[in-house]
Structure 1
Amino acid sequence: MIGLVLAAGAGRRLRPHTDTLPKALVPVDGDTTVLDLTLGNFAKVGLTEVAIVVGYRKEAVYARKEELEKTYGVTLTLIDNDKAEEWNNAYSLWCARDVLKNGVVLANGDTVHPVSVEETLLAARGDGKKIILALDTVKNLADEEMKVIVDPATGVSRITKLMDPATATGEYIGVTLIEGEAADELADALKATFERDPDLYYEDGYQELVNRGMTIDVAPIGDVRWVEIDNHDDLARGREIACRY
């Protein structure tokens, strides 16, 4: 199993920080970035091979590749997303379809979270589970969050931002464990998703899998502090949280 980071997005709502950097390289604790935190988490749970999907301002990630490898004791493979500034992240995850076959812990490049999230996902493996989503069942939800409805018997039934928060079981935080045996099915679902609409999220690919009959499981992360950094307010919260980890 390896680590996988999606770090191709432009992060336009974080300008001017993202004028020259991808979101994943915006500092959140001194010189420490979200990518630093994620690689540190992966190393702590024994994931020493990591693939990073890059696109917008990818040269900044290439420039730090050797330094990051030495700092965190990992081997990095960079995967270019040629449509990073045109299409949404369903395509970005599809670009990593070959490495999915290794089994991955996937982390969005804009999610500040503690290593306990990775530990929770790895502890939840087994019993035929193919895909396990890290789920926050504690947070009060609003319209922007990626909300999930879970059936205790059959797993995820719906994942979308477009639902009444009151109906959701919790929020998907942007970290997933994907077993290698799910790789081909997931790649096919992602392809169907971005071919239907290139603006769709990879979570819409998860919904496609559910619609096709695959069981997607969840692992509640407990009461932990984390944030998805989309805008300047999120960045301020990320900086408050990152210094704790």
Structure 2
Amino acid sequence: MLGMVLAAGAGRRLRPYTDTLPKALVPVDGDTTIMDISLRNLAAVDLRDVVVIVGYAAEAVHERKEALERRHGVKLTLVHNDKAEEWNNAYSLWCARDHFGEGALLVNGDTVHPVSVEETLLSAPVTSDVLLAVDNVKVLADEEMKVTLTPEGDLARITKLMNPAEAAGEYIGATLIRPGAAERLADALKATFERDPQLYYEDGYAEMVARGEKISIAPIGRVDWVEVDNHDDLAKAREIACRY
């Protein structure tokens, strides 16, 4: 199984940090970046072959590739998204489709969380080929990627466009993709960005559910984590990252 980091986004709301860097390379604890935390977590669960999807300011990741490999004891394969500044991340994840068949633990490159999230995903019972990490404790608002569940506890809906009161929790940007999902996930992502290139990869999960696929949920419990979209999020990331 591979680690996988989605790190192609521009992160315009984090300027001036992202004038020359992708969001994943913004520091959150001294010189430790969001990507450092992602790679450290993946290495800690012995996922040392890591695919990183790059796009915006990709040259900054290429320049740091060897240093990141040495620092975390990992081997990085960089996959380039040629439309990172035009299209949303359904296409971005699809760019890594050739690696799905090895199985992957995918983490968003703008999420700061402890390794307990990876441990929760890897230790969960095998109930489906796709398993999402969900915060079922946090009080939700409009911006979050919210989920509802079936009576059996599997994914029913996943979207930001949902009344928070209806949601069972928030998808935190970490997914276990088992090898059996490879072709079906790639096809669902392709259908998603062909329908609208501005859709999220989570809309690809919704497409899979609409096709009758089962996607399971792994609740992460009470965990300090943050998706870093803006300067307020970055301040929170810097508050919690030093405790990991």
Q: Please report the TM-score for the alignment, with normalisation by the length of structure 2.
A: 0.99
Aligned letter for 2:90? A
Name the residue aligned to 1:33: 33
Name the residue aligned to 1:4: 4
Instruction: Give the C-alpha shift of residue 14 in structure 1.
Output: 0.4
Name the residue aligned to 1:66: 66
Q: Structure 2 CA distance, aligned partners of 1:126 and 1:223? A: 23
Name the residue aligned to 1:19: 19
Classify the secondary structure of the residue corresponding to 2:4. Answer: strand
Q: Structure 2 CA distance, aligned partners of 1:75 and 1:117? A: 21
Name the residue aligned to 2:154: 155
Quick one: structure 1 residues 152 and 46, their matched pair in 2 at CA, closer, same or farther if it must change by over 3 Å?
Answer: farther
Instruction: Give the C-alpha shift of residue 143 in structure 1.
Output: 0.4
Q: Structure 2 CA distance, aligned partners of 1:224 and 1:153? A: 24
Name the residue aligned to 2:225: 226
Q: Structure 2 CA distance, aligned partners of 1:63 and 1:158? A: 39
Aligned letter for 1:76? L
Classify the secondary structure of the residue corresponding to 2:161. Answer: coil
Instruction: Give the C-alpha shift of residue 176 in structure 1.
Output: 0.4
Aligned letter for 1:150? L
Quick one: structure 1 residues 176 and 170, their matched pair in 2 at CA, closer, same or farther if it must change by over 3 Å?
Answer: same
Q: Structure 2 CA distance, aligned partners of 1:74 and 1:110? A: 19
Structure 2 residue 164 is matched with structure 1 residue 165: yes
Instruction: Give the C-alpha shift of residue 152 in structure 1.
Output: 3.9
**What is the root-mean-square deviation in Å for CA atoms of aligned residues?**
0.7
Structure 2 residue 205 is matched with structure 1 residue 206: yes
Instruction: Give the C-alpha shift of residue 150 in structure 1.
Output: 1.1
Q: Structure 2 CA distance, aligned partners of 1:7 and 1:32? A: 16
Classify the secondary structure of the residue corresponding to 1:101. Answer: helix
Percent identical residues: 69
Aligned letter for 2:209? V
Name the residue aligned to 2:52: 52
Deviations 1:164-203, CA, capped at 9 Å, x for gaps: 1001000000000000110100000000000000000000
Q: Structure 2 CA distance, aligned partners of 1:125 and 1:179? A: 12
Classify the secondary structure of the residue corresponding to 2:181. Answer: helix
Instruction: Give the C-alpha shift of residue 32 in structure 1.
Output: 0.3
Deviations 1:58-94, CA, capped at 9 Å, x for gaps: 0000011001111111110000000000000000000
Q: Is the 8 A contact 1:121 1:176 kept in 2?
A: yes
Q: Structure 2 CA distance, aligned partners of 1:70 and 1:13? A: 31
Q: Structure 2 CA distance, aligned partners of 1:125 and 1:27? A: 35
Classify the secondary structure of the residue corresponding to 2:133. Answer: strand
Q: Structure 2 CA distance, aligned partners of 1:169 and 1:223? A: 14
Q: Is the 8 A contact 2:153 2:217 kept in 1?
A: no
Q: Is the 8 A contact 2:53 2:92 kept in 1?
A: yes
Unaligned runs of 5+ in 1: none
Q: Structure 1 CA distance, aligned partners of 2:125 and 2:21? A: 35
Aligned letter for 1:172? Y
Unaligned runs of 5+ in 2: none
- Number of aligned residues: 244
Q: Is the 8 A contact 1:154 1:215 kept in 2?
A: no
Q: Structure 2 CA distance, aligned partners of 1:104 and 1:21? A: 25
Q: Structure 1 CA distance, aligned partners of 2:227 and 2:162? A: 19
Is 146-155 or 202-211 further displaced after alignment? 146-155
Instruction: Give the C-alpha shift of residue 125 in structure 1.
Output: 4.0
Instruction: Give the C-alpha shift of residue 154 in structure 1.
Output: 5.8
